[in-house]
Every structure is written in C-alpha cells, then in structure tokens.
Amino acid sequence: MKFYSTNNKALRTDFKNAVFHSLPADKGLYMPEEIPKLDPLFIKNITQYSLQEIALEIAKLYVGDDIPAAALKDIVADAINFDAPIHFLDSEMGVLELFHGPSYAFKDFGARFMSRIMGYFSQEDDQLLDVLVATSGDTGGAVALGFLGVPGTRVTILYPKGKVSKVQEQQLTTNGQNIRAIEVDGTFDDCQALVKRAFNDAEVNQQLRLTSANSINISRLIPQTFYYFWAYAQLRIQGISEVVFTVPSGNYGNIGAGLLAYKMGLPVKNFVAATNANDTVPRFLTSGKYEPKPSVQTLANAMDVGDPSNWVRIQDLFDHDLPTLQNLIQTYTYNDEETLAGVQEMYDQYKYVACPHTAIAYLAAKAHRAEHPGTYASVLLSTAHPCKFPDAIPAALFKEVQLPAGADNLEHGEKQAVAMSANYDAFKEYLITNT
C-alpha cells in the first residue's frame, strides 16, 4: 500500500517512509491511497475470530507488501497482547474498555503497534532509531511502555515537572532500559518546543536518526481500527448487529480510526463525538466553519485540544462532504461540572468508576439515545483506567478504584529522570553527548 498527503493527492510514498516521517514535508497527513475493504465474508463470520486474528487480517491489508507475513504476524501478536472487552452497563449500553494495556489507556494500541513496526524497519536498516516525545501525560506513558525493550529503538520523553499525575509519572520514569525521561522545569508547551527545535536542528539530525512517534503517525491510526471490529464481533456474539459508537475526542485519532473502519466495511449506524469545552469540531459540524481556538484546560485533560490535528484526515476520508459528516457524526459537549456529575452517575447507577473522558462519552451516549431511541447497542469507548486521573474523580469514589494488575510494581519502581530547565542548549547537549 502506498500513501499520499492530504495536501497533495498526487504524492506517493511507501509505508516505511510514512511511518518514519509521521508527516509529509507539505505538513499534510498521510492517508492510504485507497481504503481497503475487509472481506465481507470475514465480517459476516467475524464471531469466529479473536482480536489478534482480526488485527492481523486488517494489518495485512495496509502493510502486506512491506513486511513479510510471518514478521507481521509476530508484530501483531506482540503488540496486541491484551484484551478490549465490552462491559455491559445494561442491555442497551456497553463500555468498550481500551485500558487493559501496559499504560492503562487506549493509546497502547497505537503505540505498541507503531513501536514494533519502527523496530522492525530500524533493525532492517541496522541503525538505532531515536524517538523524541513531549507529553502532557498519556501519550508519553503509552510510548514509553510501548517501546520498552524493543530492539533498535531508544525513547527520550520530556514531561512538565509537577504537571502529570502520579501514575503517569511512574509510567514515564521507572522503566530504564531503552527509555529515558527528562523532567522539564516548565510547561507542556516548553517540552514540545524543545522537541520541535531538535527535529529542525541539522547537527542533531546528522548524529541521530530521529523520529517523533507522533500521534498522527499512520502506524498509530491503523491499529486503532482493530478494536472497532472486535467490539462489533463481541456484539454479534450477543445477537446484536446495530451499533452506535460514542468516542471521547480530543485530537480525533480515535474516532478517526472508527470512521476508517466504517469505510473498510464495518457496519456502524452512527458515531458520536463527545467532547469537553474544547468544541472546535462540534462547532464546525453545526456551522460548517472550521474555527480552531486555543485549548482550554479541563478535568478530561487528554482531550484539551483546540485544533485537532486528525480532523483533516476525517475530512479527507469523506471528501470534505459536510452533509455526509453531519449525518454520520453527532456531537455533544460537557463542562467540568457535568463531567464530575457523569462520573458520579455511572457509579450510582452501575457501580462503575470511570475516568473523566469515559464519563463524557457516557453522558453523550445517553443524550444521543434519548434523542434517537432504537434497538441498536450504544458502545462508549473507555479511553483510560480511572486510576490515572485522581484529581478528576471525587475522593470517595476514587477509593473504590481497583488498581490494575501490575500497578503495585510501579510503586516500587525507582524514579529515573534527568532534571532540566526549558533550555534548548542543555537539551541538545544531552542528546549529543548521551549516545
């Protein structure tokens, strides 16, 4: 499969190049030159397959020419080594739990698949790959744990001191091996600025093979389609074949993968985009005008995005056809007070403690159902385990949160982080001398 740029449909590049560069030089996003269809017979018989089997079938469609079958099978088996079960709240509504991977967030799907793809290609080239990431929390953890121990790769993570939760910091800093953490005395924007300068620094690029493992990397989008098909398979086993997916959205990578799955042939009735106060896409779908705004801080902070970078991909997928997008995607927006009430309501009604992002999806799924009654299943995507967001869950409920297996080990891990001011020269010196 070849890939074009959303800014230049005549461009063609191969999968490896699209993965290593994340972004085309024209600042568009890579898209597959054609959307492959999953075999309708496979979809008809999908209840016979496991998550890993579904994942491999999809991965083959995108990278089957670029990675030999046996290697791809190993990559998929190693990357997708945890489940994504649906927890039914009642007969109509289920939570697709995407947080059973190592960083307890859905980003594990993308990060683990991407890391192994990158590892495969860098070993083929026999050249160490240096991954630089700035994180406000969740991305860094998924990338760190995704790349941990992957041969041919090394990760350097910059995070803002005192601005990530305890579990997040442990996931960033206790790994060792090929993962290095830098605790920056500054904000997330400072971290991002340092990383951006390094990418544009000729001297650094001469000495190191850098990549960004960016969230818009095509190798993160593809594996996120896996769990939409897997959710559908689980519903079919229950005798349900109509589904509305509600996706808590920030950068629109997660829902973008759902829409890609839909284009690949997955039967979906509707998608609901659930957002916090950062409502650029809901406003766009109402007015037809794309007017990004600076992001505002909310309790569901992994969705604090004012100008979602994956939205162009969705526009491209639907040929910028606004009425089609308006018919397919409904949107609902919630403020912090409503989010907290949503967390509380899920507990009171279902004894289920959810993270704030998931609670926003719950509220949106409920609102959508009230406006569109029917016999379909509402599946809301749970993007993170609640233990990662102690500040956004009422203390009495947080006590009820069961830590995932392995979280105790994090407690005992030793923090290894290099403290640094938000100073580019110091960062550059660190990169060049610590090779």
Ligand X SMILES: *Cc1c(COP(=O)(O)O)cnc(C)c1O
172-175 — which CB contacts under 8 Å span 24+ positions?
A: 172/135, 172/140, 172/141, 172/144, 172/417, 173/413, 173/415, 173/416, 173/417, 174/410, 174/413, 174/414, 174/415, 174/416, 175/144, 175/145, 175/148, 175/413, 175/416
Q: Which is nearer to ligand X, 208 or 247 (CB)?
A: 247
The C-alpha atoms of residue 148 and residue 176 are separated, in whole angstroms, by: 8
In the complex, what is the shortest distance from the CB of residue 430 to ligand X, in angstroms, rounded to a whole number? 27
Q: Which is nearer to ligand X, 121 or 311 (CB)?
A: 311
Please name which of 302, 235, 226, 217 lies closest in space to residue 260, comparing C-alpha atoms: 226
Query: Per-residue x/- mask for ligand X, residues 310 to 349, rule CB under 6 A?
Result: ----------------------------------------
Q: Locate 135 and state its tokens.
A: 């994180």
Does residue 302 touch ligand X according to CB under 6 A? yes
Q: Which is nearer to ligand X, 16 or 107 (CB)?
A: 107
Q: Which of 79, 268, 303, 401 binds ligand X (CB under 6 A)?
A: 303
Stretch that binds ligand X, among 59-67, 244-252, 258-266, 342-350 (CB under 6 A): 244-252
Q: Which is nearer to ligand X, 153 or 249 (CB)?
A: 249
In the complex, what is the shortest distance from the CB of residue 109 to ligand X, in angstroms, rounded to a whole number? 11
Interaction residues for ligand X, span 124-163 (CB under 6 A): 138
Q: Which is nearer to ligand X, 107 or 112 (CB)?
A: 107
Segment holding 52, helix H or strand E: helix 51-63
Does residue 110 touch ligand X according to CB under 6 A? no
The C-alpha atoms of residue 55 and residue 284 are separated, in whole angstroms, by: 33
Q: Give the list of residues 6+ apart from residue 129 with CB closer than 8 angstroms, or none.
A: 20, 118, 119, 122, 152, 153, 154, 209, 211
Interaction residues for ligand X, span 79-108 (CB under 6 A): 105, 107
Query: Per-residue x/- mask for ligand X, residues 255 to 294, rule CB under 6 A?
Result: ----------------------------------------
The C-alpha atoms of residue 380 and residue 343 are separated, in whole angstroms, by: 14
How far from 426 is each of 249, 262, 421, CA to CA, in Å?
35, 47, 8
Please name which of 133, 372, 110 lies closest in space to residue 260, comparing C-alpha atoms: 110
Q: Which is nearer to ligand X, 198 or 379 (CB)?
A: 379
In the complex, what is the shortest distance from the CB of residue 63 to ligand X, in angstroms, rounded to a whole number? 21
Q: Which is nearer to ligand X, 152 or 342 (CB)?
A: 342
Q: Which is nearer to ligand X, 112 or 357 (CB)?
A: 357
Q: Which is nearer to ligand X, 24 or 250 (CB)?
A: 250
Stretch that binds ligand X, among 41-49, 87-95, 242-250, 406-414 (CB under 6 A): 242-250
Q: Give the list of residues 6+ apart from residue 305 with CB closer than 8 angstroms, or none.
A: 250, 251, 278, 280, 295
Does residue 254 touch ligand X according to CB under 6 A? yes
Interaction residues for ligand X, span 364-383 (CB under 6 A): 383
Segment holding 69, helix H or strand E: helix 69-79
The C-alpha atoms of residue 298 and residue 416 are separated, in whole angstroms, by: 29
Stretch that binds ligand X, among 15-23, 44-52, 204-212, 246-254 (CB under 6 A): 246-254
The C-alpha atoms of residue 299 and residue 357 are separated, in whole angstroms, by: 8
Q: Which is nearer to ligand X, 136 or 270 (CB)?
A: 136
Does residue 357 touch ligand X according to CB under 6 A? yes
Query: Per-residue x/- mask for ligand X, residues 383 to 422, rule CB under 6 A?
Result: xx--------------------------------------
In the complex, what is the shortest distance from the CB of residue 218 to ligand X, in angstroms, rounded to a whole number? 14
Stretch that binds ligand X, among 4-12, 45-53, 145-153, 245-253 (CB under 6 A): 245-253
How far from 33 is each of 1, 24, 317, CA to CA, in Å?
7, 14, 11
Q: Which is nearer to ligand X, 130 or 279 (CB)?
A: 279
Q: Locate 228 and state its tokens.
A: 């939409």
Q: Give the list of residues 6+ apart from residue 122 with CB closer than 8 angstroms, or none.
A: 128, 129, 152, 153, 209
| DSSP assignments along 300-341, one per residue | SGGG--SS-TTHHHHHHHTTT-HHHHHHHEEEEE--HHHHHH
Q: Locate 111 and state its tokens.
A: 């990060």
In the complex, what is the shortest distance from the CB of residue 279 to ligand X, in angstroms, rounded to a whole number? 13
Residues near ligand X (CB under 6 A) are 105, 107, 138, 248-254, 302-303, 357, 383-384
